[in-house]
Amino acid sequence: MLEVDVERRLGDFRIEARFRSDRGVTALFGRSGAGKTSIVNMVSGLLRPDRGRIAVDGHVLFDSAAGIDLPPWKRRIGYVFQEGRLFPHLTVRRNLLYGWRFAPAAERYLTMEQAVALLDLGALLRRRPPSLSGGEKQRVAMGRALLSSPRALLLDEPLASLDVLMKREILPYIERLDEMGIPILYVSHSLDEVSRLARNLVLVSAGRVTASGEVDEILNRLELWSPEDETETGTMLTTRVARHDAEGGITHLDFRGGELRVPLADIPEGVAVRVWIRARDVGVATERPRGLSLRNVLKGTLVEIGGGGAGPVTELRLRIGDTTLTALVTRGAVRELALAPGQEVYALIKSANLDRRQLSLVAAMAGPGSPL
């Protein structure tokens, strides 16, 4: 359990963050400049809070009231930086062993061999950091941090400088970090990464924690996203792979409230999958449409109309079974269809838009070595 309660003024910017992170991945989510990196820097001891308290598993790392402020090297908090920060003059092996040597022998919970196996580092050991690809560098950086046997792990946008293919390659390894059983703080502004990796989410905006809790719950709370926000409005659905229709090129996903059809995905049946449905990919009809190319037609009730400010579009919230789905439509359409709360409607979702990028395995349920 990682407990963070910190305040810090940086020029005109003020950070005031308070949250807890249990074992497993907790995402610190928010746009760039929201203060996420400053928060993890305070946890690691690289930035000193003006006031507050930081503790992990009962070990107090910082407590302004008690006058405790452990230096970074006594905190035993692993840190994977955005740019890796491997030591360029040391081989991969010696980079990995750097922190291992400093960890008290009795508290080491990972051997070199285990770390190498966990992150597939065997072929890299004799290489030097400048010759590694971006993805390899981050794998080594994760191994190096883990081998210092930290009580908690911080990852600051470890995928930010990687291209799409490399992200794909490295995500499964990050999922494996879950096995360590320590709290992991994962800083990101990518919804995709967060929905795939995190169990819990701490939403950071302008230096403050605006919400925290389970990923699905938080992502579905509409009021958290303003239209000007770079983050898109949408719905996070937790589903389960029901069956595949290879001929039709379709995978059927079950969720509480119905069934979703998505392009054929190479995911075993029964595996839990989160689907991010962008509000702008959802349309609405007042009666069941015929002769339609759209594969997903879900019957539900219109609960609420609103949001979007004075702009031409507005948001609808639809109740489908146990699930609330968000749709983005024009105000003109609301008028023409005479939409009103309580009305029975059909939600139309284009399945082609629910491509691989919108799907993410739920890490905890999929386990390591998932086919993604």
Partner 1 sequence: MWSLSPAEVEALGLSVRIAAWSTAAGLPLAVAAAHVLARRDFWGKEVLNALLHMPLVLPPVVTGYLLLLLLGRRGLVGAWLEQTFGLVFAFRWTGAVVAAAVVAFPLMVRPIRLSLEAVDPRLESAAMTLGANRFWAWLTVTLPLSLPGVLVGAILGFTRSLGEFGATVTFVSNIPGETQTLSLAVYSALQVPGGEPGALRLTVIIVVVTIVALVASEMLGRYVARRTRGYASA
Cβ 98 to partner 1 shortest distance, Å: 5
Cβ 94 to partner 1 shortest distance, Å: 10
Calculate Rg over the CA atoms of the chain. 23
Cβ 55 to partner 1 shortest distance, Å: 17
Cβ 105 to partner 1 shortest distance, Å: 13
* Token pair for 106: 């009795």
Cβ 19 to partner 1 shortest distance, Å: 20
Cβ 40 to partner 1 shortest distance, Å: 10
Nearer to partner 1 (CB atom), residue 129 or residue 257: 129
The type of residue at 99 is G
Nearer to partner 1 (CB atom), residue 60 or residue 334: 60
Give dist(CA 144, CA 283) in Å, integer.
48
3-state SS of 216-256 is: HHHHCCHHHCCCCCCCCCEEEEEEEEEEEECCCCEEEEEEC
CA proximity to 76, closest of 49, 43, 50: 43
CB 116 within 8 A of CB 125: yes
Residue 198, Cβ density class (10 Å: 0-12 exposed, 13-18 middle, ≥19 buried): buried
Give dist(CA 71, CA 75) in Å, integer.
7
Nearer to partner 1 (CB atom), residue 131 or residue 133: 131
Nearer to partner 1 (CB atom), residue 78 or residue 307: 78
Cβ 147 to partner 1 shortest distance, Å: 9
Nearer to partner 1 (CB atom), residue 108 or residue 221: 108
Cβ 155 to partner 1 shortest distance, Å: 12
Nearer to partner 1 (CB atom), residue 62 or residue 346: 62
Nearer to partner 1 (CB atom), residue 77 or residue 187: 77
Nearer to partner 1 (CB atom), residue 108 or residue 357: 108
Nearer to partner 1 (CB atom), residue 99 or residue 234: 99
Cβ 120 to partner 1 shortest distance, Å: 21
184: which strand partners? Answer: 25, 153
Positions that interact with partner 1 (CB under 8 A): 44-46, 71-73, 75-79, 81, 83, 85, 87-89, 98-99, 101-103, 128-131, 144-145, 148
